[in-house]
Amino acid sequence: MKRNVGIPLLMIFLLTFNVFATVSIPVLAESGPATDIIEFRRVPVDLAAQALKAGEIDYYIFGLRPAQAEALKGDPDVVVYYAPAAMVSIILNPAPAPKGSLNPFSIREVRFALNYLIDRDYVVNQIYKGFAAPMVTFLSQYDPDYVTIYDIIAKYDFKYDPVTAAAIIDKALTKAGASKVEGKWYYNGSPIVINFIIRIEDERREIGDMLASALESVGFTVNRLYMAFGQAIPIVYGTDPAELQWHLYTEGWGKSVPEKYDYSTISQFGAPWYGWMPGWQEAGYWQYENSTIDELGKKIYMGIFNSKNERDELYRKATEMIIQESVRIWVATRLEVHPAKKEVSGLTEDVGTGLRSPLNPREVYIPGKTTVKIGHLWIHTESSAWNPIGGHDDVYSVDMWRAIHDPFMWRHPFSGAPIPFRWNYKVTTAGPTGSLPVPEDAIIWDAVSDTWKTVGKGVTAKSKVVFDLSKYVGSKWHNGQPITWADVLYAIYQAFEIAYDPVKSSIESSIAATLSETLKLFKGFRIVDEKYLEVYVDYWHFSDDYIAEYAVIPGGHYPWELLAAMDKVVFEDKAAMYSRSASKSYGVPWLSVNLKLHAELVKTALEKMKFSDYEKIFNVRGKAYATETEFEARRAADVAWFNDKGHLVISDGPFYLNIFDPIAQYAQLKAFRDPSYPFSKGDWFFGKPEPPKVVSMGVPLVVPGGAASIIIEVQGPPPLGVKYLIKNPITGDIVSLGDAEALTASKFVIRMSPTFTEALEPGLYELIIATYSEQVAFVGTSKTYFDVFNVRPLESTFRDVGTALSQEIAKVSSALDSLAQSLSTLSAQASNVLMMLIVVAVLVIVGIVVSSISLRRR
């Protein structure tokens, strides 16, 4: 009976399901990324297309050469993605030479002259075959802040001009005591020799050779040093500039994120305080110094402005000074080409990084497959380091690390604005000049007394950020141990220790130099309801999202006990260092916990640790956030991880590092599927952006003294804006710039008044248009020319014609006067005749009337 009942019930269920087929039944998404395994493999650029077609990789995240890109365009099995994700610059060593010799690049004028020795048009059109845009500073037309400085870029629009370069160099070197003999520069009887390190893996070799030849043409003796990444980096960034092991280097940069309102790039590439200018803020090294640029850079970085306009003015001043200093000579933004097999799904086209976006490992998949294979130029180099304090400054390690950890905040892939990632947030601010009271029981770490201190009374801050850690605290590390508040507290402690502890800051001086400036705006922390972290910062920005981003704790992303073990290796054992420069100074390795030998140093330190030595870090206002039992469980899990994997990369992201083989140039990442992980497939997919662009420009013929209008039509996600610049291409003078007037959402007008046009000299004028959108961190640019009509040659002709015409008019007028007199006389005579005719007519009429009367009477 029961069996018979079961069949109709099953049939009823099936019928019900069919009837209501449009109703979706919710299914809980599997935690973690869209695919199970990601493999990273080294593939040289020249072999990338071949590897893609052979199925050895599914997509490639190092930019292809232009010829390869062109060859793949018509391939139906390949999708090609483009992004302005790479930049090329030439960094110069400005350190003074020892007594008796001369470093020409210690002279600012010589550095500046090099801008005229780089043929950027040739680089863009011939070397990169159009897959690039010229640069004169650290931003290009693909960066949102381009519209902030576009007139400065136009002002310094360097063209290849070796004559001008030679004239500047000749004057500066002669003044410095050098002499030019038979076309070669000498100082104290010896030739001036330049050590030029030229990278060999990509187009930088051609660019380097081109510049080397140009330098030789103006009299320098150039020692061309061809090197790959691993050989070049330690020399350029790991030695004292005063040693002059290098004078120039062909730098290459991979963009990390799109940036809506830049605050760090300008300091990174121009301000010494940030640690990326020669000297690198490493104690004992010669340092490039510029206090004015430092002051401007710090104000931009730390929000010391009262409005966006004030911030923009600071940005403009710093930019122009950086161009004038010319420690870096900018060459081009490379439009990187990333190819993928057409079956690869889930890719987001980041406007700044292309397929290198950290969102893509989370979302990429191939239907019917569990593994995605990614090709890169390198997987490991001698200058790659995996540590959370001073490592990951190369694209090769970064691109894998970003799939392994979750940032607390990230950037929107289209707009470049900061967005919540693992931590949500709420911002309260008193504005640029106001203040909020910091609660008396808020805490801050004192690196001198080695204790948490309550801030006490009277402390204020400009802003308060409340981070919601409900997606973080309580979830799991890759080794299965829970993430706790102890991990958050140690990250705060570690940052303040490195910045302000006298011993630690002297050992890692380059890191401490930047960190100490950043952290001085942090006024206090509070843990609230075991869920929220309140952070009080003396920082303001016109965007609340940037306030939240500033308040994010630096570091973290590893279990606290591993961070502590790394600290022990660096600061106590001095067996390895966090930064490249410190490792060079101390003659020890640059700590990289993905390598077995380095990880073993950390494991040994971990095994020697005693919880009692760290207990005070986790006791806050009478509450203990870690116990010895928890510590022992964590240590056992970490050691087991090392024994299994051979490394100690343990983090909090969607993948864990399963295999890392530096010899084979191979890494395997496996999906982290713990139910506590808060994200699933689809959470971070954005697709493809629609960048703003100029559709058309209606350019009139401009007549001096007459009004004129230029109509511009643009396209892109609203709201859109248009900035313009009018430049005399002969003199280089900017005659007008500003914002175009909006007629509609997509049509704008530039109005030129009669007063303005009257002041224009006749000839062609260059018009540069930049259109931008609040939704996409990309600037669409267009350039055209308009003609100011030259009326001067016609003025004489018009005068002659006018004179002749006046004379003819006078003659005609005289003739008309005579004719008028004749007509007057004739008119009088005609009047007399007319009167006579009238009289006759009257008499005739009277006669007729009389006759008529007579006939009737008969």
Q: Would you state the pLDDT for residue 66?
A: 85
Instruction: Flag whether pLDDT at 819 surpasses 80.
Output: no
Grade residue 816 by pLDDT with cuts at 50, 70 and 90: low
Grade residue 840 by pLDDT with cuts at 50, 70 and 90: very low
Between the two ends of the chain, the Cα-to-Cα distance in Å is: 146
Residue with tokens 């990601």: 38
86 phi/psi in degrees, rounded to 5: -135, 150
Domain ranges of the chain: 84-334, 423-648, 693-790, 803-858
**Residues 43-53: what's their mean pLDDT?**
94
> 693 to each of 2, 714, 741, how far by Cα in Å?
71, 6, 17
Residues 84-334, CATH architecture: Roll (3.10)
Residues ≥6 apart with Cβ < 8 Å to 172: 104, 107, 109, 110, 113
**Residues 731-735: what's their mean pLDDT?**
87
Residue 57: what residue type? I
Residues ≥6 apart with Cβ < 8 Å to 81: 337, 338, 339, 340, 347, 349, 354, 355
Instruction: Flag whether pLDDT at 763 surpasses 60.
Output: yes
Grade residue 701 by pLDDT with cuts at 50, 70 and 90: confident
Fold annotation for 693-790: Immunoglobulin-like (2.60.40)
> What integer best gives the mean pLDDT of the chain?
90
Say which range, 416-425, 536-545, 571-580, 817-826, has the weakest mean pLDDT: 817-826
Grade residue 792 by pLDDT with cuts at 50, 70 and 90: low
Instruction: Flag whether pLDDT at 837 surpasses 50.
Output: no
Spatial distance between the Cα atoms of 211 and 196, rounded to a whole number of angstroms: 10
pLDDT tens-digit series, residues 120-174: 999 999 999 999 999 999 998 889 999 999 999 999 999 999 999 999 999 999 9
pLDDT tens-digit series, residues 191-230: 999 999 999 999 999 999 999 999 999 999 999 999 999 9
Instruction: Flag whether pLDDT at 14 surpasses 70.
Output: no
Q: Would you state the pLDDT for residue 630?
A: 98
pTM of the complete model: 0.86
Instruction: Flag whether pLDDT at 1 surpasses 70.
Output: no
Q: Are 207 and 88 in contact (CB under 8 A)?
A: yes
Q: Would you state the pLDDT for residue 841?
A: 44
CB atoms within 10 A of CB 348: 23
Spatial distance between the Cα atoms of 788 and 302, rounded to a whole number of angstroms: 46
